[in-house]
Amino acid sequence: MFVRTGWEGSEDRIYMFKTRFAMLALGATLFTPALFGGACTVGTLQSYQTGANFDCTYDGYTVDFDNGILAGSDGFSATGVNQLTSSEIIVTPTSTDTSFTFEFSAATNYLFAGQPGGNTYDFDYTLDPAVPRIAGTSINTGPSDPVTLTGEFCGNSLIISPSACSSGGSYQNYGITGSSGTVTSANYLFPTVQTDMETELTLVLDPCEYVDNFGSTVNLVPEPSTLWLTPGLLGIAWLGKKRLANKAARS
């Protein structure tokens, strides 16, 4: 008499379970970053402070314009004459497999320009990725009549005063002076990969100086999900081969 035990084809069931579990794990690795916060888009700086882009996410990063040491309320301050407001500054986020950039430019019919006595703009924001990926930083100015852009960076910590990070974080400070009509940049690599980072950018324009755009780029190591994808798929293939080998051994 045949007695049904409930374990008929158990090897096939175990194989299906393991395969589905592996696929779910891969899916969680690849897509979990997209589940948190709204996506960052091109918008005014004001939208990043209090509007649609507040605490947005981009390429797995949570972006927060904070109350920094140099910058004022909501991560921005400006001094001088006829300075731009946060609603007159455009923020453009872009990314590649190995970089993440915030570019700042003036809105249509406006210009970052030095007035009599000079103008200074300070920006502060933090990037908080889900996993350690930050290898270094760079800053850049677009075509300009020489202006000075300075970047302060704290990896795995916050800026607590000019030239200092909290919790012994990795600090870096460097600046560039743009050449007339050309793009200028500088970069720095952290000694170890960082998980999060605070950025302070200071733009100084003397009278009659101007700049079309400027920004800061984060240099990244390959995303862990990409590194884990191949071993995960190989594991699924190994399960399939083992299943076939066991069936052949029984026949």
Q: Does 232 have pLDDT greater than 80?
A: no
Q: Does 91 have pLDDT greater than 80?
A: yes
Q: Does 16 have pLDDT greater than 60?
A: no
What pLDDT score was predicted for residue 145?
72
User: What's the CATH number of domain 41-220, 2.60.120, 3.10.20, 1.10.3470, 1.20.81?
Assistant: 2.60.120
What pLDDT score was predicted for residue 175?
87
Nearest to 179 by CA among 214, 144, 140: 144
Q: Does 190 have pLDDT greater than 50?
A: yes
Give residue-wise pLDDT tens across range 137-175.
999 988 777 789 999 999 999 898 877 898 878 888 888
Task: Give the residue-averaged pLDDT of 106-135.
Answer: 92
What pLDDT score was predicted for residue 227?
45
The lowest-confidence range among 21-25, 97-101, 105-109, 124-128 is 21-25
109: CB partners within 8 A, 6+ apart: none
Q: Give the count of alpha carbons within 13 A of 205, CB side only.
A: 28
- Residue ranges covered by each domain of the chain: 10-31+227-250, 41-220
Q: What is the mean pLDDT of the chain?
A: 79
Nearest to 60 by CA among 89, 31, 83: 31
What pLDDT score was predicted for residue 68?
74
Nearest to 194 by CA among 237, 154, 159, 247: 154
Please report, to the nearest 10 degrees, the dihedral formed by the alpha carbons of residues 109, 112, 118, 122 taken in order: 130
Predicted TM-score of the model (pTM): 0.74
The lowest-confidence range among 34-38, 50-54, 205-209 is 34-38
